[in-house]
Structure 1
Amino acid sequence: METRQIGRPLTRNEDPRLLTGRALFVDDVELPGMLHAAFLRSPHARAAIRSIDTDAAKARAGVVAVITAEDLGEYWQPGPLLVPPPPIKGMVFRQRCQVPLAKGEVRHVGEPVVMVVAESRYVAEDAVGDIVVEYEPLPPVIGLEAALSSDSPRVHADLPDNIAADVHQAKGDYAAARAKAAHLIRRRFTYDRGASNPMETRGIVAQWDHKAEKLTVWDTTQAPVFIRNGLAAMLGLSERQVRVVAPFIGGGFGPKMMMFYPEEVLVPWMALRLDRPVKWIEDRLEHFTATTQERSQVHDCELALDARGKILGVRDDFLMDTGAYNPYGLTVPLNSQCTLLNCYDVPAYDSRFRAIYTNRTLVTPYRGAGRQHGIFVMERMLDAAARELGLDRAEIRRRNLIPADAFPYHNELIYQDFAPLTYDSGNYAPILDKALHAIGYAEFAAEKAKARAEGRHLGLGVVCYVEGTGIGPYEGAKVRVQASGKVTLATGVGTQGQGHFTSFAQVVAEQLGVDVRDVEVTTGDTDVFDWGAGTFASRGAVVTGSAAHGAAVEVRTKILKTAAEHFECAEADLVLADGAVSIAGVPENRITLGELARLANPMRGAVKPGTVPGLEATSYFGPQMGATAAGAHAMVIEIDAQTMRPTILRYVVVHDCGTVLNPLILSGQIQGGVAQGIGNAFFEELVWTDDGQLLNASLADYLLPTALDVPRMDVLHTETPSPLNPLGTKGAGEGGAIPVGALFAQAIEDALDLPARGIEVSEIPLSPSRLWEICNPSG
């Protein structure tokens, strides 16, 4: 067996269960006497509720309960603020969080108004149709700029306006930079909404065991410990009485991290009240209006440059649609504000954002979590600047990259983790050069000219990006060697397909000298490990991986100490490999880890004072700040000039996420991110009417990229280890998605020679029809 486990391209430990249908998902949970829930949801973006008649629904055979906000009594209360705002001087922040069921007024299409519990989902849905609600439609708030008008309706009548937050951050002196600039570039950009659309929608099952006085909840959540803690507090139970299990989850992407959806609050409450298991599984229509969304920003940006194209400063003022409520604080706009600086040396920066309440679905982080927006703005501004200065687009980027000797690089802003935005390590120029070489940048002009002579429209794009990853507060891990010789690892984070069962096992196996297949990993079960924050912000490998490493190192120390006592030799004389400890040079003189585990947990005899039995350890890791990954994407695209349909001919990713734990899993993460980025850039857009109705709330109308639209790609890696954690890792879960919008815009402009016609792509997402409109402004 190889002693080195980290860095090996191992196939995933979890795949046999997934591929053979033996993995547990929430909808697989079937319990005796289970009831099923359905929800009556608002058909209006904004309306007053005048009356609710539930008599017919209650009379329907098979209906067990019909619940309105009034029936909840003291349990009806706004949800918690999940992420408080950081301490930024002068900021305005007005918190309004969603409620379990609407009372008095509905504020977005899809907001739950009535809950029905019945013997089957079929009966529950029919009973929903029996309910009569008298609404008085009110004028909704939809457009961002219109929402700022003094005569705009207010989403929350108790607020003076629709501003949820107003935050200004700055570094350097932008006014001075502007005054001495040789060139000023000004542009407006829009980045509109999309839905996450995981294969598995949200779901929750709750069971109250009155004999054990214990509530068990199976939930498609990315943060099971927070759910456990919150439910215990709300239901008046001790945390010991609540078990939350996040089993296999068919895609999370951020919206399943948004803790305390109304359904997560109501289903356990009903299970406790009825003393019967209750299940609710979200349908696809519900997903489009009831699950949180992301994007929708409008940026007005100015870039100041000297005569050589060196950035002197940037000013950006943007609006962000936060939807009807704001439970997740300022994570998304802070990410946009901070990530706009990208991998470039920006001496002066002046940025203001206003988060705006609208009568649309809530906004919380979705893969990339606002970073796409900042990258799109900066990369588009550099493209415009390159044209004005007559510079090559790669060259203007190269001239502005942060040099390798400038790290750690301090950006002087407060990031989403409340710490000053600092890039811990990096070497950006080789990343860009590697991407240019891999895509054939030097040869592309000739390739494009040849294609054009054949009537084909080829374009190339190349963009850079950074990704803030691995933020705190902390995660923990418990490692134990069993008497069988097998090793267990337990952690509080959930898993949604990232390969945690393998990469965490590699970290532990490396220290304990066992085969990766002999490390059993348990994630997301609060009865097995009950501390932690959750899976978000590309933090699993960094924070949980480091905790697993720490626990494994401690167990290794115990193994060697126990073996040295057994052999009556020095620990330095021992070799730990292949699931056993032997004396160096005498491999036949060995003892297995299982035997050592039994020695460390004796059933008879005296135990030395202070001795902790067993070969196990629990460790926690909390980073002082996030680690910064970086990369470059390059793409060659062909556009059909008649249909405006794009075909990706080549796609290259060069990614630096520090130490690579498993290149096979890493490539899968990046490719999945690129696939979502392609959807976000060119296919996916939620289309709303002026009165807040969603027009394409189905997979028949909402365009997702298929396997035919996602190309094979070359994924290349560089490694600049992070100094912030013992593994040197940085996150990689979102980098594939972050720069794709900017990449598409640049490549499309190149393919259709749009700048020569005075046309620029300043919005995302696109579609063939929208691209045709941009290219033909006169119709």
Structure 2
Amino acid sequence: MSDYRPMGQFGIGQPIKRFEDVRLVRGEGRFHDDVNLSGQAHAVIVRSIHAHARMLAIDAARALRAPGVLAVFTGSDVAHLGTMKMLLHRKRPDGSPMFAPPHRGLTRERARYVGDPVAMVVAETLAQAEDAAEWVRIDYEPLPSVTSTAEAVGGPPVWDECPDNVSNVHEVGDRAATEAAFARAARVVRRRYVITRVHAQYMEARGAVGAWDPGEQRYTLHADVQYPHRVRTALATNILNVPEHQIRVIAGDVGGGFGAKGWQYPEHRLVLWAARRLGRPVKWRCERREAIPADEHARDNVTDAELALDADGRFLALRVRTLANVGAYVSSDRNLLATFSNVATLVGVYTFPAAHVQVTSVLTNTNSTAPYRGAGRPEATYVIERLIDDAARELGVDAVDLRRTNLVPASAMPYKTATGVTYDCGDFPAQMEAALKLGDVAGFPARREAARRRGRLRGLGIANAIERAAGPQPEFAEIRFAPSGSATVFMGTKNQGQGHETTFKQILHERLGLDPGDVRYIDGDTDRVAFGMGSMGSRSTVIGGTALWT
């Protein structure tokens, strides 16, 4: 590739201004709140104020008499709708099937976290719906709750059917070999690492507009989702039980997703069902104050990690036990994805003859967790790199030298790790040495001393991150040519601010020589784009771009 030259001023690698930014900076984007349909009503979700409570009664009489109110729906109204389904086959510690309770859209009988949807008020205007929601009276009987990951096992049951709060256990590696390595180790370093719960806090909070066309017998959902086609499939096959062609999902500009705007949230089914029930479109807009109670969260792990070393400081084995908080509901595989998809990279770029990882997913009275910004990758890197730093301190050796001693050499490639994945290539020692040089680590002691004299603290952090990204799912790209010579490109990925239009137009220019001004870009509409897996996991350019190139 040394003689590779980009094609023209818009080719791959050329420093161009993003094409989509012109309309966005002019305020001409079409985000969720810009979508308003003729005759639409407005919905407000009434959410639980308790982490765990029995709902003895719901009194909506006064709310129904409020001006403009069209309906107040509760869990019994939508009990006939389907739920998401698990495809993963996990086990509990005793070998029984995992316990994975799905959310039903509006909860009945018990609320299981602060923010659990209890009722939906629909009115002519948003202000009327908000006012009426204040008049929905719920008689709660508070119950014992558990929100701490560390206290989940054996804490107050989130579900009576699962008294120990253990949803499932996932294991990777060789337990027997790991135990043997620890038995002969010269030194063992043990630490507990707590990774807190986080929320995406995107600029644009979620929303959904549902419509029903009685003539075509079709639903249309406008929502800021990352994978519209998978949302359509989930709604059709699991929730509404209709053929996929009877549902259209449209996602316009999305003001940030980060994994948290995944597929099927309760509000999606609620606005669609209510639109058909009321005979008019229904719009729900998440308020900023509502986002944390309404959305899926992420992370929330407690990890006990152990490192076994020989007398020369070489790693013999890694043993990791993690409690992963999955919240009160496990509605789909998505809610477990971050707990297992990247645990194999806990060994990092280091030579480990043996390793064993056990992840116990626990239920608590909190929001469900799901992928967000790496889906388990940052957690894995954090644990192994912190553990190496702590081992260096405990052993009284330099943290850089400890890493040097244990990095997988380039000569070992392809290298199969103790957790079962294969690194096909990589020169990890050379990469770390290059980073040390660029960061002038040799000069760090002098800089730290200079900072100390100024009354400041200066630290040094080193992390050799490796991740598994761009999963091998298929992706869709289509180019349609007009007689005039212009073209329209349809992509199955979904832009959320990453600049997809620019990226894919550059690829198309490189491949076919088309001027970007002659190319129209379309994504996010299941009626216009035939298929798509969407955007997540650092895959859009790698997989979507390859589909477009080929």
Counterparts of 2:299 and 2:223, CA distance in 1: 26
Q: TM-score, normalised by structure 1?
A: 0.66
Q: State the SS of the aligned residue for 2:261.
A: helix
Segments of 5+ residues of structure 1 without an aligned counterpart are 414-419, 551-779
Query: Which of 362, 387, 391 pairs up with 1:356?
Result: 362
Matches within 5 A, 1:631-710: none
| Closer/same/farther in 2, CA of residues 29 and 170 from structure 1, 3 Å limit | same
Give yes or no for contact 1:336–1:372 (8 Å, CA) kept in 2: no
- Residue identity matched to 1:425: C
Q: Distance in 2 between matches of 1:308 and 1:539?
A: 41
AA aligned opposite 1:362: S
Gaps of 5+ in 2: none
Q: How far off its partner does 1:74 sit?
A: 1.6
Q: Helix, strand or coil for the counterpart of 1:109?
A: coil
| Distance in 1 (alpha carbons) for counterparts of 2:96 and 2:424 | 27
The alignment partner of 2:392 has SS state of helix
Work out the CA distance in 1 between the residues paired with 2:168 and 2:377: 18
Q: Which has the higher contact order (CA 8 A, sep 6+)?
A: 2
* Whole-angstrom distance in 2 between the partners of 1:53 and 1:482: 59
Aligned with residue 248 of structure 1, among 247, 253, 256: 253
Tell me which of 55, 73, 82 is aligned to 1:67.
73
Q: Equivalent residues in 2 for 1:315-326 (5 A)? A: 315-326=319-330
2:157 to 142, 149, 154: 154
In structure 2, how many angstroms separate the alpha carbons of the residues matched to 1:88 and 1:486?
57
Q: Which residue of 2 aligns with 1:133?
A: 138
Contact map agreement 1:84 1:329 (CA 8 A) in 2: no
Shift of residue 31 of structure 1?
1.8
> Are the counterparts in 1 of residues 351 and 417 from structure 2 also a CA contact under 8 Å?
no
Q: Does the Cα contact within 8 Å between 1:42 and 1:113 map onto a contact in 2?
A: yes
CA distance in 2: counterparts of 1:110 and 1:437, whole angstroms: 49
> C-alpha deviations, 1:282-320, integer Å up to 9, x for none?
112221111011111111111012233221110111111
Report the count of equivalent residues: 539
Letter of the 1:110 partner, please give it.
G
User: Alpha-carbon deviation of 1:160?
Assistant: 4.2
Q: Name the CA shift for 1:429/1:519 in 2 (closer, same or farther; >3 Å).
A: farther
What is the Cα-based RMSD across aligned positions, in Å?
2.2
Contact in 1 for aligned 2:52/2:110 (Cα 8 Å): yes
The answer to whether the 8 A contact 2:226-2:536 is kept is: yes
Residues 368-407 of structure 1 mapped to structure 2, 5 A cutoff: 368-407=374-413
Q: Which residue of 2 aligns with 1:265?
A: 269
Could you say what secondary structure the match of 2:390 adopts? helix
Q: For the residues of structure 1 that align with 2:149 and 2:158, how far apart are their CA atoms?
A: 12
Residue type at the aligned position of 1:97: P
The equivalent of 1:3 in structure 2 is 7
Match of 1:165 in 2: 168
- Mark the CA change 1:336 to 1:187 in structure 2 (over 3 Å): closer, same or farther: farther
Question: Which position in structure 1 is the counterpart of 2:505?
Answer: 505
Instruction: Render the CA deviation track for 1:522-545: whole Å, top value 9, x for unaligned.
Output: 112111113222211211122212
Match for residue 289 of structure 1?
293
Q: Deviations over 1:721-751 (max 9, x none)?
A: xxxxxxxxxxxxxxxxxxxxxxxxxxxxxxx
- Report how far residue 412 of structure 1 moved: 5.6
Equivalent residue, structure 1, for 2:453: 453
Q: Say whether residues 1:46 and 2:52 are aligned partners.
A: yes
Q: Given that residues 91 and 98 in structure 2 are in contact (C-alpha distance below 8 angstroms), is that contact kept between their aligned partners in structure 1?
A: no
From 302, 305, 318, give the equivalent of 1:301: 305
Name the residue aligned to 1:280: 284
Partner of 1:101: 106
Say which of 4, 19, 24 aligns to 1:18: 24
The residue number in structure 1 matching 2:339 is 333
**TM-score normalised per structure 2:** 0.93
SS at match of 1:66: strand
Aligned equivalent of 1:468: 468
Offset, 1:168: 2.0
Mapped to 1, the partners of 2:497 and 2:280 lie a distance apart of: 31
> Matches of 1:84 and 1:222 in 2, distance apart?
22
Matches of 2:518 and 2:413, distance apart in 1: 39
Q: Is the 8 A contact 2:475 2:492 kept in 1?
A: yes
Which of the numbers 198, 203, 210 marks the counterpart of 2:207? 203
Who wins on radius of gyration, i.e. which is larger? 1
Q: How far apart are residue 429 of structure 1 and its match?
A: 2.5
Residue type of the alignment partner of 2:214:
H
| Structure 1 position 279, deviation (Å) | 0.8
> Which of the residues 167, 181, 184 maps onto 1:180?
184
Specify the SS of the correspondent of 1:30. Answer: coil
CA contact (8 A) 1:255 1:364 kept: yes
**Residue 228 (structure 1) aligned with residue 232 (structure 2):** yes
Q: Which residue of 1 aligns with 2:538?
A: 538
CA distance in 2, matches of 1:375, 1:260: 29
1:239 to 233, 240, 244: 244
